[in-house]
């Protein structure tokens, strides 16, 4: 009888607590906008934070409140962005797809000024006199950008340089922010000619430490028929509003600094 009584008491308590929890779940439930749930379902769920919000749910809330635009998500495909725009009743202005581009071609070709035996991290290495490279603008080669990429779009080459897979790149800006030398930028994929150097040193100084750096010779300026490239601060700069990708600057560059995206 004592065992039976204990079972009945425990069963009654379990039933009572169950009913109480069921009532509480209905009474205290937070009502979620169905459109918000649909938005979250459309978003990639990568939670990369590139949109400036705390994850995809945060971006969905921001979008619902009118604080973010559909283009704020750098990871979504154009098809998904169109679906989101239709759901929100917005007009989507199509923009040119961008891809992360490395503005350095030095790698192991650049001389080292000291032996670095610290943590294999570009940010940490950069704290030690700006890194081990004789060119203070050079890629340090420890792959911090690779670690920062949430889409596996960056691999490190044998030359100690990041190689960016434009098909995998979602222009999330993570690698841009991770690079302490600011060597990576987001460039429209249609602009396939770029300058693989960031040095503002004089040509003689560049040549002394790196065989593939811009030596500000201005041959590219003279070769361009569209006035689309100029040497500014000892570095060739392309005006993509004028550039026609004729590649004449690529042909005449003696250091092979001006390159074509593969």
Count of beta carbons in the 10 Å neighbourhood of residue 225:
9
Distance CA 173, CA 80 (A): 19
CATH top-level class of 34-88: mainly alpha
Q: Please determine, looking at this structure, whether the domain spanning 105-181 carries the CATH number 3.30.70.20.
A: yes
Write the DSSP string, 151-217: TS-EEE-TTS-EEE-TTT----SHHHHH-TT--EEEEETT--EEE-----S-HHHHHHH-TTS----
Nearest to 106, CA basis, from 59, 75, 139: 139
Give the residue among 117, 56, 114, 50 at the shortest CA–CA distance from 84.
56
**Domain map (residue ranges) of the chain:** 34-88, 105-181, 191-262
Q: Give the per-residue pLDDT at 24.
A: 66
34-88 matches 191-262 in fold: no
pLDDT at 86: 85
The CATH class that applies to domain 191-262 reads alpha beta
pTM of the predicted protein model: 0.75
| Residue predicted with more confidence, 28 or 106 | 106
The whole-chain average pLDDT of the chain stands at 88
């Amino acid at each position: 009888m004592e065992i039976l009584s204990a079972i009945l008491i425990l069963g009654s308590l379990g039933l009572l607590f169950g009913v109480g929890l069921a009532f509480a779940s209905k009474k205290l439930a937070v009502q979620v906008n169905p459109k918000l749930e649909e938005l979250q379902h459309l978003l990639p769920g990568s939670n990369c934070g590139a949109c400036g919000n705390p994850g995809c749910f945060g971006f969905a809330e921001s979008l619902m409140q009118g604080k973010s635009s559909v283009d704020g998500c750098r990871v979504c495909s154009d098809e998904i962005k169109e679906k989101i725009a239709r759901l929100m009743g917005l007009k989507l202005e199509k923009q040119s797809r961008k891809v992360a581009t490395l503005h350095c071609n030095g790698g192991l070709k650049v001389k080292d000024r000291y032996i670095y035996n610290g943590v294999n991290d570009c940010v940490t290495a950069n704290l030690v006199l700006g890194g081990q490279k004789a060119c203070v603008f050079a890629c340090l080669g420890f792959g911090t950008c690779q670690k920062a990429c949430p889409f596996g779009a960056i691999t490190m080459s044998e030359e100690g340089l990041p190689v960016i897979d434009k098909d995998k790149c979602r222009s999330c800006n993570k690698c841009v922010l991770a690079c302490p030398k600011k060597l990576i930028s987001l460039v429209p994929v249609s602009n396939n000619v770029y300058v693989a150097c960031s040095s503002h040193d004089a040509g003689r100084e560049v040549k002394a430490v790196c065989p593939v750096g811009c030596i500000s010779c201005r041959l590219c300026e003279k070769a361009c028929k569209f006035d689309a490239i100029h040497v500014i601060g000892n570095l060739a700069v392309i005006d993509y509003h004028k550039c026609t990708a004729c590649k004449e600057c690529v042909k005449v560059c003696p250091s092979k600094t001006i390159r074509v995206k593969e």
